[in-house]
């Protein structure tokens, strides 16, 4: 469990970090909860590791222009316990509290989880339901990517090798919106066999907005737009919810592994979708 | 001489005092193998096979050898003069393949050691492992034992194409007659899956060779330092008196460190070869690959009974997955299961047929319970299957068949004698405490509303306190030396080798009471073959019953010597020693131990025909095993939509004989239950069809975490064992043995109205969900 030799840099600013990345191939280190185990198992052997851990700018929490800006380096614990996040973006705070154990929550970061794009990670479900935007910075420029274009495949995102995630941009939740994250844990790792994040807004006895993000079921997290469409305009009765939830795995190529077959995952996804929506209503 | 005076000081035995080991364990000041640093230390790292079965066409070590910092690379040809990894069991038709320390021309499992790299730095050693080029020619492999038994299956060892490692048949009574007379016969295939023992501290060894006097010191994370010394001496060809083995702090073993592993001997060999101290510590990943696994049974049960529930006889076929080689006690595991097949029940007719099977996997061997959990799981599942078949309440069915208290000592059809017990009483206590009839009512009401609640009962008997010497390959006795230092403080040296059990605490309690001295004046040493006279070690729940008894006997002998000195100093011929004071029974004059002790060492005069010093050594050879027992009851609830199981209550009522420290007994029950529950719900070692280990990390091997273990309610009955003067039985393995059937019975009970009779472990949500979906038919 000893990684291969590597060079290590610890820049103090985003500028320095992206300069280093522009200089040659390097791997960014945030909380290290995913990268370090891979390096120890020698499944990943970067020659140069750029540690973002000391860049104060990346732990910003700010409300700007009706959105919440969360620095990539915020730990899961910080997101779960921030009063501002709890108030303005309760789904993300709730989801963060479901991740791993307290050691992992104290080390692992929002940006790291997004960049790692583990098919079973929790955040991606919430980020999809929140229609988050991801700001990517590279030497001399930056761009903002919609979450729908961000998760490309298992462990693959839109982040280019010379880019870092600086922050995530999330909507400030309007009043009248209920949220919930429901997860069946894989018993060994604690990751999600299936995790469902739901945001539901009701007005005048009808659902006016529904967003459902799903993780664990397929290679990447996704928005279950079929479920959302069936919910919106409905009264949100138990039958409405059940009918909508049944659409969660439509057209999805479900994962099968040691812990759950694809059939079981699909079934659990429907159950947990219904539960997340019920809890959000 | 017996001293039976009432005590002035507080009695320690029976008190829930905190563990004396804990301050060093929880402040990180304990010394494990990894903490040992010796000047000039070198580091070894092992190259392992990535294939379950392959011929080795060649090994190129040149690049590794040239890597800066690498001192040597050893392969199979360098060690073929050394002895084999030992198997200490003999059975009439046991086949023992030669188990070299490093693979010769073939590898037999993923993780099989192929070469070992030695470097001046552990990082360099790890890098150089990747530079050793091994050319493999993969061949067909077989991982499932039942597949390995089929015609045409790949032969694990070419000389034995049937893959049979051993067979063992044992019968008692007349099973055919019993089955002929039966009204009902229930049958089930029951699997006890492979488990990873998962000691918190991985295995590791440090070896240091003194070329001047040609002595070797080996620090190893082991449960059996004295036996390891003997075994290593055989493998290395170095006589025992030149070899010192130290088990420093050992962070758990659960049976997995009752071995001589190849790497332990290799580390020693390298230290002798390069003349420098060498450290080798296993990584967690390699721990999964190359530390023995537990269980690994596929069992076929048939239970015969009368309509009224009277159990008549049992036929069992046990298929034991051996792995590719035997380790120290591998073939003994299923034979231990056989001894406990009848459980607590009094039927006299049993027929057991065991077949051990070679597979292309790591070896199986001792893991907490070792053979007994499999047997208990089997009989306790079968009792439930029978209860369902007959429509009888499982509590009533058990009570109808228990060995009654009047029958002890009770000779079982498997040739062992249960020492003492009251089985109905402990089940009654559990049933009452849990509120059984109330729960049954709740269950009925719940079912109306579609709730799937289950009540699981498991009663168990355990064979432990190992044991009479004929039952063990290297003696079943234990030893103790007790020395009163000149200051009056007490040093105990015990032959057991505790590694987390809290034995320093319990032995201090025993010694404090026996000697009538303050517990803080006692220290307990163990685990070093140079300081401890001799010993057998720690396994099979034997520390207190066997080692503790040796301690009591040594103290009793010592007390005679104290009285000899007391009489001499008091100029009396009639003295009694008690509570740290020797009293002349005629004059009432006293002399305290604190005064006797220095005089016993320094004189200047000594009693006639008496040797200086207060020191005594004694050995205890137990006349029998001890048989703890208990009743565990679990209330669980199944989520019908997802198959998730929630444990609502866990009640453990155990009888481990006399209790020395209730806190430690509870601790053992808690830990044991957590492990049994782990087997029931979560844990499984999985090899895929190609022989690769899938569960090679805790990200996939589901060891229960604290939050996954329910609150465990504990209670006890206390039936002293007549086997030893302390009256103790043992509690190290009890929780593990009881928990898996209790949990599984509760879940099967939750689904019983759907026609479910049996579910194999682990009870993953998916398995349960499928059963619910299919309305019960598997
Ligand atoms: C025991 C354990 C249990 C866990 N359980 C869960 C769980 O239940 N649910 C869950 O969702 N996760 C779980 N995790 C994963 C955890 O949430 C990690 O924190 C997360 O996946 C990665 O975040 P990190 O900050 O540790 O990233 P790192 O490990 O440092 O990096 C991960 C990857 O992201 C890249 N990266 C990191 N930061 C950036 C950035 N700002 N810009 C661009 N690239 C970046 C790195 O280069 C690397 O490729 C668990 C981890 C462990 C060890």
Alpha carbon distances (Å) from B457 to B70, B434, B555: 58, 11, 42
> Would you tell me which residues 709-748 of chain B have a C-beta closer than 8 angstroms to some C-beta of chain A?
none
**Residue B533: is it exposed, middle or buried by C-beta count within 10 angstroms (0-12/13-18/19+)?**
middle
Ligand 1 test: best mutation among A13, A48, A78, A115, most atoms within 8 Å of CB?
A115
Q: Where are the beta strands (DSSP E) in A120-272?
A: 133-138, 141-146, 151-153, 156-157, 164-171, 177-185, 192-203, 206-215, 222-223
pLDDT of residue B777: 55
The structure tokens 């007719």 sit at B349
Q: Which residues, other chains included, contact B756 with Cβ-Cβ below 8 Å and sequence gap of 6+?
A: B748, B771, B776, B778
CA dihedral B541, B542, B547, B552 (to 10 degrees): 80
Q: Which residues pair with A180 in a beta bridge?
A: A198
Residue-range domains of chain B with CATH: 22-30+477-620 (3.30.365.10), 33-139+202-250+257-290 (3.90.1170.50), 297-467+624-773 (3.30.365.10)
Q: Does residue A260 surpass a pLDDT of 60? A: yes
| Distance in angstroms (rounded) separating the CA atoms of residues A274 and A245 | 5
pLDDT bracket for residue A112 (50, 70, 90): very high
Chain-chain contact of B641 with A271 (C-beta, under 8 angstroms): yes
DSSP state of B707: G
Chain A residues whose C-beta sits inside 8 Å of any chain B C-beta: 1-2, 4-5, 41-42, 101, 184, 186-190, 258-261, 264, 267-268, 271-272
Q: Please state the atom number of ligand 1 nearest to the C-alpha of residue A37.
A: 53
Copy the structure tokens of residue B459. 């009663």
The structure tokens 């003295």 sit at B575
| Distance in angstroms (rounded) separating the CA atoms of residues A267 and A82 | 34
| Distance in angstroms (rounded) separating the CA atoms of residues B641 and B773 | 9
Spatial contact of B630 and B428, defined as CB atoms under 8 Å apart: no
Residue-range domains of chain A with CATH: 7-51 (3.30.43.10), 58-171 (3.30.465.10), 177-280 (3.30.390.50)
Answer whether 0.90 is exceeded by the pTM: yes
Q: Please state the atom number of ligand 1 nearest to the C-alpha of residue A163.
A: 43
The closest of A239, A245, A250 to A273, measured between CA atoms, is: A245
Q: With contacts defined as CB-CB under 8 Å, which chain A residues touch B686?
A: 258
Chain A, nearest residue to B709 by Cα? A187
Chain-chain contact of A260 with B283 (C-beta, under 8 angstroms): no
pLDDT under 50: residue ranges of chain B = 1-8, 778
Alpha carbon distances (Å) from B750 to B386, B456, B470, B653, B677: 16, 9, 44, 22, 17
Check CB contact of B757 with chain A, cutoff 8 Å: no
pLDDT of residue B466: 94
CA of B6 relative to ligand 1 center, distance in Å: 65
pLDDT of residue B5: 35
Chain-chain contact of B769 with A264 (C-beta, under 8 angstroms): yes
Q: Where are the beta strands (DSSP E) in B365-495?
A: 410-411, 417-418, 452-461, 478-484, 490-494
- Ligand 1 interacting residues, C-beta cut-off 6 A: A 27-35, 52, 72, 99-100, 104, 108-109, 111-113, 115-116, 118, 121-123, 159, 164-165, 189-191
The structure tokens 């002890």 sit at B408
Q: With contacts defined as CB-CB under 8 Å, which chain A residues touch B682?
A: 187-188
CB pairs under 8 A between A and B: 55
Ligand 1 test: best mutation among A9, A16, A34, A122, most atoms within 8 Å of CB?
A34
User: How much is the average pLDDT of A59-88?
Assistant: 97
At B444, give phi and psi (nearest 5°). Answer: -60, -45
3-state secondary structure of A39: helix
Check CB contact of B84 with chain A, cutoff 8 Å: no
Chain-chain contact of A187 with B641 (C-beta, under 8 angstroms): no
Spatial contact of A221 and A124, defined as CB atoms under 8 Å apart: yes
Could you tell me the sign of the dihedral formed by the alpha carbons of B509, B515, B518, B523, in that order? negative
User: What mean pLDDT, rounded, does chain A reach?
Assistant: 97
| Distance in angstroms (rounded) separating the CA atoms of residues A271 and A53 | 39
């Amino acid at each position: 469990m000893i990684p291969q030799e590597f060079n290590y840099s610890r820049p103090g600013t985003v500028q320095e970090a992206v300069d280093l990345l522009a200089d040659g191939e390097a791997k960014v280190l945030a909380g290290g909860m995913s990268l370090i185990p891979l390096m120890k198992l020698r499944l990943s052997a970067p020659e140069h590791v750029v540690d973002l851990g000391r860049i104060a700018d990346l732990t910003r929490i700010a409300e700007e222009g009706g959105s919440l800006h969360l620095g990539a380096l915020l730990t899961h614990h910080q997101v779960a316990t921030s009063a501002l996040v709890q108030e303005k973006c309760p789904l993300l705070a709730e989801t963060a509290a479901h991740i791993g154990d307290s050691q992992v929550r104290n080390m692992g970061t929002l940006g790291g989880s997004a960049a790692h794009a583990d098919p079973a990670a929790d955040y991606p479900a919430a980020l999809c339901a929140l229609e988050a935007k991801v700001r990517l910075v590279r030497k001399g420029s930056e761009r903002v990517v919609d979450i729908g274009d961000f998760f490309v495949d298992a462990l693959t995102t839109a982040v280019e090798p010379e880019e870092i995630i600086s922050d995530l941009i999330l909507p400030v939740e309007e009043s009248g919106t209920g949220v919930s994250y429901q997860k069946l844990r894989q018993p060994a790792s604690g990751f999600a066999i299936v995790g469902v994040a739901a945001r539901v807004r009701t007005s005048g006895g009808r659902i006016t907005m529904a967003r459902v993000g799903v993780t664990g079921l397929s290679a990447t997290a996704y928005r279950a737009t079929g479920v959302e469409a069936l919910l919106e305009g409905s009264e949100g009765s138990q039958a409405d919810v059940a009918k909508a939830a049944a659409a969660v795995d439509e057209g999805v190529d479900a994962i099968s592994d040691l812990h759950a077959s694809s059939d079981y995952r699909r079934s659990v996804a429907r159950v947990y979708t219904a539960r997340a929506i019920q809890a959000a209503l | 001489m017996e001293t039976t005076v009432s005590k002035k000081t507080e009695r320690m035995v029976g008190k829930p005092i905190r563990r004396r080991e804990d301050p060093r364990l929880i402040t990180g000041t304990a010394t494990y193998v990894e903490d040992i640093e010796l000047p000039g230390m070198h580091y070894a790292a092992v190259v392992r096979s990535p294939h379950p079965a392959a011929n080795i066409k060649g090994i190129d070590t040149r690049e590794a050898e040239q890597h800066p910092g690498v001192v040597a690379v050893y392969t199979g040809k360098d060690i073929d003069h050394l002895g084999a990894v030992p198997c200490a069991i003999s059975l009439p038709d046991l086949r023992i393949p030669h188990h070299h320390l490093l693979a010769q021309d073939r590898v037999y499992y993923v993780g099989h050691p192929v070469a070992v790299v030695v470097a001046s730095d552990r990082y360099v050693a790890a890098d150089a492992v990747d530079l050793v080029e091994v050319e493999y020619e993969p061949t067909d492999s077989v991982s499932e034992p039942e597949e390995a038994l089929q015609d045409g299956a790949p032969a694990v060892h070419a000389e034995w194409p049937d893959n049979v490692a051993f067979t063992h048949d044992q019968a008692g009574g007349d099973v055919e007659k019993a089955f002929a007379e039966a009204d009902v016969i229930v049958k089930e295939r029951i699997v006890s899956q492979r488990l990873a023992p998962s000691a918190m501290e991985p295995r590791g060894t440090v070896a240091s060779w003194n070329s001047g006097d040609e002595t070797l010191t080996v620090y190893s994370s082991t449960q059996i330092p004295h036996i390891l010394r003997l075994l290593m001496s055989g493998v290395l060809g170095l006589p025992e008196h030149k070899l010192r083995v130290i088990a420093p702090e050992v962070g758990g073993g659960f049976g997995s460190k009752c071995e001589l592993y190849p790497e332990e001997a290799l580390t020693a060999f390298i230290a002798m070869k390069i003349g420098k101290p060498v450290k080798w510590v296993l990584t967690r990943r390699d721990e999964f690959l190359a530390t023995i696994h537990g269980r690994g049974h596929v069992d076929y049960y048939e239970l015969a009974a009368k309509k009224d529930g009277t159990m008549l006889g049992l036929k069992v076929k046990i298929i034991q997955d051996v792995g590719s080689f035997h380790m120290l006690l591998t073939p003994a595991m299923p034979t231990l299961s056989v001894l406990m097949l009848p459980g607590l029940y009094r039927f006299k007719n049993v027929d057991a047929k065991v077949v051990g099977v070679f597979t292309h996997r790591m070896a199986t061997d001792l893991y907490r319970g070792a053979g007994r959990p499999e047997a208990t799981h089997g009989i306790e599942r079968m009792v439930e299957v029978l209860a369902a078949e007959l429509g009888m309440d499982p509590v009533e069915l058990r009570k109808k068949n228990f060995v009654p208290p009047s029958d002890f000592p009770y000779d079982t059809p498997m040739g062992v004698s249960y020492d003492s017990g009251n089985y109905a009483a402990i089940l009654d206590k559990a049933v009452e405490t849990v509120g059984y009839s109330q729960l049954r009512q709740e269950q009925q009401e719940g079912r109306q509303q579609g709730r799937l609640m289950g009540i699981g009962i498991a009663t168990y008997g355990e064979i432990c306190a190992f044991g009479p010497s004929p039952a063990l390959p290297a003696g079943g006795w234990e030893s103790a030396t007790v020395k009163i230092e000149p200051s009056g403080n007490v040093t105990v040296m015990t032959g057991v080798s505790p590694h987390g059990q809290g034995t320093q605490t319990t032995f201090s309690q025993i010694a404090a009471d026996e000697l009538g001295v303050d517990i803080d004046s006692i220290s307990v040493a163990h685990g070093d073959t140079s300081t401890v006279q001799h010993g057998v070690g720690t396994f099979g729940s034997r520390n207190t019953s066997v080692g503790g008894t040796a301690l009591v006997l040594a103290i009793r002998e010592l007390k005679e010597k104290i009285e000899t000195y007391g009489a001499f100093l008091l100029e009396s011929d009639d003295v009694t020693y008690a509570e740290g004071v020797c009293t002349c029974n005629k004059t009432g004059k006293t002399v305290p131990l604190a005064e006797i002790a220095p005089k016993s060492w320094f004189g200047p005069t000594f009693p006639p025909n008496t040797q200086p010093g207060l020191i005594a050594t004694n050995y205890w050879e137990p006349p029998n095993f001890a048989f703890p027992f208990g009743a565990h009851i679990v209330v669980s609830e199944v989520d019908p939509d997802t198959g998730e199981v929630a444990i609502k209550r866990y009640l453990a009522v155990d009888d481990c004989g006399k209790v020395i420290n209730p806190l430690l007994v509870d601790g053992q029950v808690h830990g044991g239950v957590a492990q049994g529950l782990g087997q029931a719900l979560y844990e499984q070692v999985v090899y895929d069809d190609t022989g690769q280990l899938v569960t090679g990390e805790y990200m996939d091997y589901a060891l229960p975490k604290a939050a996954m273990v329910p609150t465990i309610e504990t209670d006890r009955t206390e039936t002293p064992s007549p086997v030893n003067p302390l009256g103790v039985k043992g509690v190290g393995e009890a929780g593990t043995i009881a928990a898996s059937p209790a949990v599984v019975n509760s879940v099967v009970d939750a689904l019983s109205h759907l026609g479910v009779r049996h579910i194999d472990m682990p009870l993953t949500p998916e398995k349960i969900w499928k059963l619910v979906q299919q309305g019960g038919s598997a």
